[in-house]
Homo-oligomer: A and B are copies of this chain.
Amino acid sequence: MKKAYKKVDFPTEKIRKFLEPGPIVLVSSRWEGKENIMTMGWHTVLEFSPSLVGCMITAENHSFDMIEKSGECVINIPTVDLIDEIIGIGNSSGADTDKFNKFGLTAEKASIIKAPLIKECFANYECKLVDKQLLSKYNFFIFEVVKAHVATSSKYPKTVHYLGEGIFMVSGRHIAFPEKFKPENL
């Protein structure tokens, strides 16, 4: 039985908290009545407000066209309990697989966009595609996070971070030094 996180709204200007550490994410999309999921590791926060995120998605991915055409996706942050789904989703194609069904994940209605949230993920960031200028040269999408949902069950999710060659790092302990920062740098 997979976790079903209870979530609350989270300020979009603070979504770096769960994305900047660099976890593998699951990107869900919807186009012409079909839904899909891909596994993604190449992303970066670009701005606090508007809340911008840049993502490199290989053009061969079935999700590439769905995201470009719909202009939307959800960045879902899974935890280590979903490691089999993370790997399985990354090693199958939406062209011939209904991944929500195959991997036993629940598509939940988003608040603002049409692409679905993945209920079993710790956090869900609803994204609109705002800049395509690096798409043709680098497959680089720039999204604005327009709505964020984050689980209340734990302060820090146990995320997985990909190194290549089938190896993942699982997030470890947390250390805090706010007193050593200038307030404007926190």
Contacts and interface: CB of A to CB of B under 8 A. Distances in A.
Contacts of A179: 166
A123 B44 CA distance: 20
Contacts of A156: 163, 169
B182 A91 contact: yes
Interface string A152-184: 000010001111111111111111111111100
A31 interface: no
Contacts of A148: none
Contacts of A174: 163, 167-170
B45 A45 contact: no
A138 B138 CA distance: 16
Chain A interface SS verdict (over half):
mixed
A132 to B, nearest CB: 12
A54 interface: yes
A101 to B, nearest CB: 19
B87 A177 contact: yes
Number of copies of this chain in the oligomer?
Answer: 2
A47 interface: yes
Interface in A113-163: 131, 133-134, 137-138, 140, 142, 156, 160-163
A22 interface: yes
A186 B164 contact: yes
18 contacts: A17-B163, A20-B41, A20-B42, A20-B163, A42-B44, A44-B44, A47-B138, A54-B54, A83-B177, A84-B180, A87-B177, A134-B134, A156-B163, A161-B161, A161-B171, A164-B186, A167-B174, A169-B174
